[in-house]
Amino acid sequence: MSGTATTDAIATPGLPSDAAPAYGDRVTFEAVYRVAPQPAGKRLQEVVLLRDDGERWIRSYRPIPAEFQYQGRRVRVTGRPYTNPPTVQSVDATHFALDTIELAPGETPITPAPTALPPPPLARSAAAAREQAGWYAVCVGTRRGDDLAFSDGGSLPLSATSRSLVPPHADGEHSMLVWVTSDGVLDVRTVCPGVTPRCGVVDGSAR
């Protein structure tokens, strides 16, 4: 499948040179395709390519429904990296003008092809949550003190700003969309009652 870059900040022909992106050479590489589950400020709900070197290259500022099938999958892409100039309002990161995208060899497709943005992994243990360090997860557990306790007996700390969002132990098990920090702290974004795999997920739009 092929596509073109959809970031709002990408320059169009005719812009002055100080507003034009600086493009690199065309490259082909493998990466993990990830879509943020909900928008942040200014509707930013980025699509990123997590490269093997740890860098996140931005594919788009909003989800692309035609590419929902790649969510969480390893892909092989071809295109050109670019950086917008300071005169163009954009995220301070390497952007990627995509030419082609396909599943990497050995990767399995999502079947059937999704019509809605697939949610982050459902984590019902501390180990499963930690596997998502540096990204999002939907954790299922119970508030106990300053921690989220999982059904397997493990627990992870809630960030200080998240504790007021999570109901206490008496309210039972909840699902919550969280950002998992590199040291395993859970930064909660949305809380839902019971087991809710799509807790907090917003499909978004490319335009």
Q: What is the pLDDT of residue 119?
A: 95
User: Is the pLDDT assigned to residue 3 strictly greater than 50?
Assistant: no
Assigned fold of 122-193: OB fold (Dihydrolipoamide Acetyltransferase, E2P) (2.40.50)
> pLDDT per residue over 31-50, tens digit each?
999 999 999 877 789 999 99
Distances (CA, A) of 136 to 15, 23, 56, 114, 183: 37, 30, 14, 19, 14
Model confidence pLDDT, tens digit, residues 93-111: 899 999 999 999 999 999 9
Q: Distance between CA atoms of 186 and 188, rounded to whole angstroms?
A: 6
CATH 2.40.50.140 residue window(s) in the chain: 122-193
* 125 has pLDDT over 50: yes
Structure confidence by residue, pLDDT tens digits, 15-29: 445 668 889 999 999
Length of the chain: 207
Mean pLDDT of 175-184: 96
SS3 call for 27: strand
Over residues 137-171, the pLDDT tens digits come to 999 999 999 999 999 999 999 999 999 999 887 77
Spatial separation of the C-alpha atoms in residues 197 and 38, rounded to whole Å:
14
CATH class of 17-103: mainly beta
Distance separating alpha carbons of residues 56 and 60, to the nearest angstrom:
12
Q: Which of 203, 186, 180 is nearest to 132 (CA)?
A: 180
What is the pLDDT of the chain when averaged over all its residues?
88
